Amino acid sequence: MYQTQGFDEMFTRDGEPQAPCRAFVDRLQEFTIDELKNRQIAAELHLNNMGITFNVYGHEAGVEKVWPFDVLPRIIGDDDWRLVEAGLKQRVTALNLFIDDIYNDQRIIADGVVPMHLIQSASSYRPELRGFSPTNNAWCHISGVDLVRNRDGTIYVLEDNLRCPSGVSYVLENREIMKRTFATVFQGMSVAPVDQYPERLLQTLLDCAPPSAERPQAVVLTPGVYNSAYFEHTFLAQQMGVELVQGVDLVVSSDDVVYMRTTQGMQRVDVIYRRIDDDFLDPECFRPDSMLGVPGLLRAWRAGKVTLANAPGTGVADDKAVYAYVPEIIRYYLSEEPLLENVPTYTCWEEKQREYVLSHLHELVIKPTNESGGYGIVLGPRASEADLEAVAERIRAKPREYIAQPMLELSTAPTLTDGDLEPRHIDLRPFVLAGKDIYVMPGGLTRVALVKGSMIVNSSQGGGSKDTWVLRESNGHGAANGHTQPATAQPSTA
């Protein structure tokens, strides 16, 4: 019998289905465990045959790994999703205003809401970009905001990913896998579609093209096949119908125009969806030893001849130290209360909060402010005394580089294991597009900690994913009629 732990997304503590999940649970009971396992095997074969992979640097079993996937979906009800969607639009709007202000008037600093030293000490702050605003003042065109639900049911923003957020290709492929291998569970369910995302992404990019571009041309800029998200780069370029390029394929002319080398000659490029970190983007401006970027690219961008998405310098707003100020950022720019809460956060550069953290390390999660992918995190309740002493020394030496948070017990969802259905901890990364307007993809990437009891959901550290269903009410918000009969869906072109 399935035993819930804390807040479960599908079942109450009494073992009854959560309201949005009742129809799915009724359908699920028609299948035996062996039948579910057969669906799981079919899904894994599809992943392998289609080459849906990700890279793990330094992994002993090799670099490229098949994407881990669980065949049971994570279901989000319409009421929860409306809150999430509105909260994300609010948050991304405020963060775009914040970034534009930081690189221009710096009103929020002058008014004492965010301290200057916090910005200047951020490794992702780019002072060379002062005095510039991109088209539509859109800095973070593509955002991935990580959400978690605590055991009391509250949805929190865990972190903002505003530089080169990855994972959306797996959202699209997860849905395709489900339609291929488990089509019957969709019937009669108003599951919001996700397949509009590539079209929406392309429109967002073109909407932010320089005003002088009459028929803008967009490309995806990748660092190459050894990047951990290379599958996603190729997938999105293909789905949008644009060229996938590397730095050597682009050149900046003396009049600051970007061109792409093609077999038919040079072709002008107006928008670059770049999947290269700032440091490697332009050897003239950032790291001079970079072989991945394009010399002169920042010069062309500042001249208004090309749009870079996301814009360089956006990382200042997803620094985990700045994260602690996002509720105040929302209040400052929008005069609104945040719709989605931050996880309570202690900032170690403030003396009183640092002393509290150092005396309660065994209760807290310690996070480096400039790491990602789950690296460098110390889970206080599960750490050894030696680990706690080591992180205490690091905090004392460089307090700006650490924050601390209470250890949340992430919500769980049923996951197919070798023997049965068992609860596994999950989070959610919805994707937000910001250009002329803001679009939130319904659902997002549900990441699941496949190891029993683990809270680490990152694929680089043993996590997997699930298809994410947003169930729309039939009386509005656009029931996904195209997904009620998924057996007619066309095969993926990925």
Which region, left, alpha or beta, applies to residue 421 given φ > 0 means left and ψ of -120 to 50 means alpha? beta
Residue 285 to residue 281: CA distance in whole angstroms = 8
List, for residues 170-227, the tens digit of each pLDDT value.
999 999 999 998 999 998 899 999 999 999 999 999 999 999 999 999 999 999 998 8
> What is residue 484's predicted lDDT score, i.e. its pLDDT?
37
> Which regions in the chain score pLDDT beneath 70?
53-65, 371-374, 459-462, 474-494
Quickly list DSSP for 68-132. PEEEEEEEE-HHHHHHHHHHHHHHHHHHHHHHHHHTTT-HHHHTTSS-HHHHHT-TT--GGGTT-
Instruction: Provide the whole-model pTM.
Output: 0.91
> What is residue 445's predicted lDDT score, i.e. its pLDDT?
96
Sole residue written with tokens 């307007």: 437
> What is residue 397's predicted lDDT score, i.e. its pLDDT?
97
Nearest residue to 437 (alpha-carbon basis) of 205, 204, 179: 204
> What is residue 436's predicted lDDT score, i.e. its pLDDT?
92
C-alpha distances in Å from residue 166, one per residue of 62, 372, 429, 431:
21, 12, 10, 9
Q: With the C-alpha atoms ordered 343, 412, 380, 163, is the resulting torsion angle positive or negative?
A: negative
In 57-88, which positions are buried (b, 16+ CB within 10 angstroms) versus exposed (e)? eeeeeeebeebbbbbbbbbbbbebbeebbebb
> What is residue 64's predicted lDDT score, i.e. its pLDDT?
63
Nearest residue to 425 (alpha-carbon basis) of 224, 148, 54, 135: 148
> What is residue 55's predicted lDDT score, i.e. its pLDDT?
60
Residue 234 to residue 134: CA distance in whole angstroms = 26
The amino acid that residue 339 corresponds to is L
Sole residue written with tokens 């200047």: 120
> What is residue 420's predicted lDDT score, i.e. its pLDDT?
87
Q: How many CB atoms lie within 10 A of CB 362?
A: 11
